Structure 1
């Protein structure tokens, strides 16, 4: 029998919504705490991304490559079809560079972490998603820069100061990635390493809650007066979910996958990698100050969508 998921993993959606609400309340009722919260973002994010990457089985890339049908469906949806959908939907906010950049950053990157949990709750194939996650991680790191340049234009590239951006990438993506890889090696060889890996993996949900809370608390007061502009991105984020569900269903069927595999492809197409892109968006110049909140807003929209899809996808893709 499969090992049942811990309580805090089964209740991720309400826990994350609670963290968002707490962060918003703190940021609006106590604006003086915005600066301390902003200082806490980088260390909390670094720990969160370390825990995220620790769950990515890099040693299983070979197994993912050998599962040709599922790999083709997951890559076809996320690498070929998602950019087309994102380009079309992002035209709605194309006149606002900050909204456009936030939408592009978060929607062009497939999720590699809690998508596995939500797909499992809907009867999707968690093992296949787990195996393919390192391939999706590499693909998005390679494709995101050229896609951003293509969709947002060279002006974005010229406006980004490379120093802070490269520093954020090194400290909040490369360093946690290397630390996670070393921990996986240690866990395979020593008991201490295995215990560290288990403890960090178990902290994933609390770290995600802390990240959501401090990010929202640090920025909500500063953008409250521009909430009207931010809300323009919400229809785009909702439409992305609505469009990607049938695309994932068709792709899974076209690849000849079984029911759990098709459900997993649907979730892979819908869920996005806000955790990894958030530190990069936070390193953008001040002119893009709304972009990080677009990423957080996408997380909120996605979590609400997960409540629906966990129950809807088994009906759309019945056993």
Structure 2
């Protein structure tokens, strides 16, 4: 099996590991503490293996195509945040539920959107070039978006004592990946290491969702009714994201391959980068992490539809 085949079928792997985690967590309730302890180092390794695929030292490449860059930044950091805020108003007034949805829908994906762009006839070079800018922009804008939408309600539950461990989980792999990229380019022989690490994100993310499902089985049971509400919202978001890409591509006069890339950029979200922040929330807010995992599953099923719809109907 090659890596593209693995990534194309990853949704079934994640679904299987979630079911396995729920079964293990139900059979052995005491395993939750062990799973929570294993979750943080697994997330660090996952983020490192993901970030090292991002050309962090080539930020200037994103500015070579100003029209595509403008469309990407406008869609991801102006139009979609407004749409997300509107969609969230339809959710039950549960702050933990709304925070989880906002966390995951506010941030564009920086990894598998490149794969889906390639599979969907997009411009892989443009996708790779814009990825580091998307990553840095979301780290900058996410606190602003959350403050604007939640305000004092957020600061009451997510203070500095809860934020700094989650920040370390994100920043340490990010800095390590940047250092590794510099070493790879200086030595000229590290491409093999990067290629091997490219296989890691899918199995590591499967392990992460297994650990979350096993540790949060009680939260999942208590939130089944709420999950039935967020799934249609996530599906609607995917539809609106693609239509937004179509409108922006038409307005910016982008070629079809760049329009497809834009659709995959707007449709995919960075679920496991925001997971540390959801997991750092205090007791009683576990639903935030659960709805983030659910979003990744809905998104992957949505990408199966995107791979047919985007190149054949939306951007012929």
TM-score bin (small chain): over 0.9
From 215, 218, 223, the counterpart of 2:215 = 218
Look up the SS of the partner of 1:131 in the other structure.
helix
Summarize deviations over 1:2-34 as a string: whole Å, max 9, x none.
xx8543233223323333332233223433322
Q: Is the 8 A contact 2:10 2:202 kept in 1?
A: yes
Secondary structure of 2:90's aligned partner? helix
Shift, 1:318, TM fit? 4.3
Q: Deviations over 1:250-270 (max 9, x none)?
A: 112221111111011111111
The residue number in structure 1 matching 2:293 is 296
> Could you say which residue in structure 1 is the equivalent of 2:30?
32
Residue 230 of structure 1 deviates from its aligned partner by 3.2
Q: Give CA-to-partner distance per residue, 1:266-293, whole Å, 9 cap, x none.
A: 1111111101000111111224221000
CA distance in 1, matches of 2:6, 2:230: 30
Query: Residues of 1 paired with 2:315 and 2:192: CA distance?
Result: 39
- Does 2:55 match 1:57? yes
TM-score, normalized by length of structure 1? 0.93
**Equivalent position SS for 2:40:** helix
Whole-angstrom distance in 2 between the partners of 1:31 and 1:224: 13
Indicate if the aligned counterparts of 1:161 and 1:285 stay in contact, CA closer than 8 A. no
CA change 1:40–1:79 in 2 (3 A) is: same
Within 5 Å, which residues of 2 pair with 1:171-190?
172-190=169-187
**More displaced, 249-258 or 195-204?**
195-204
Deviation at 1:120, TM superposition (A): 1.4
Distance 1:10 1:305 in 2: 12
| Correspondence 1:235 to 2:232 | yes
3-state DSSP of counterpart to 1:230:
helix
Partner of residue 74, structure 1: 72
Shift of 1:155: 2.1
Change (3 A) 1:33 1:232: same
Superposition pairs of residues 192-211 of structure 1, within 5 angstroms: 193-211=190-208
Residue by residue over 1:184-234, the C-alpha shift from the partner in whole angstroms, topping out at 9 and shown as x without a partner, is: 111112266444323222212211211121112211234313321333222
CA distance in 1, matches of 2:139, 2:44: 17
Distance (Å, rounded) in 2 between the aligned partners of 1:232 and 1:7: 32
For residues 31 and 283 of structure 2, the distance between their equivalents in structure 1, rounded to whole angstroms, comes to: 20
Tell me how far apart the structure 1 counterparts of residues 19 and 123 of structure 2 sit (CA, whole Å): 32
Change in Cα spacing, 1:19 to 1:191, as seen in structure 2 (3 Å) is farther
Contact 1:17 1:300 in 2 (8 A): yes
Residues 67-146 of structure 1 aligned to structure 2 (within 5 Å):
67-93=65-91, 95-146=93-144
Give a deviation string over 1:11-64, Cα, whole Å, max 9, x none. Answer: 223323333332233223433322221211101100000011111102221111
Which shows bigger deviation, 106-115 or 20-29? 20-29
- Contact preservation (8 Å) 2:260, 2:315: no
Separation in 2, partners of 1:316, 1:103: 29
Comparing 5-14 with 77-86, greater Cα deviation is found at 5-14
- Contact 1:282 / 1:292 at 8 angstroms: preserved in 2? yes
What's the TM-score once normalised by structure 2's chain length?
Answer: 0.94
1:8 matched to which residue of 2? Answer: 6
**1:314 maps to 2:305:** no
2:244 is the alignment partner of 1:247: yes
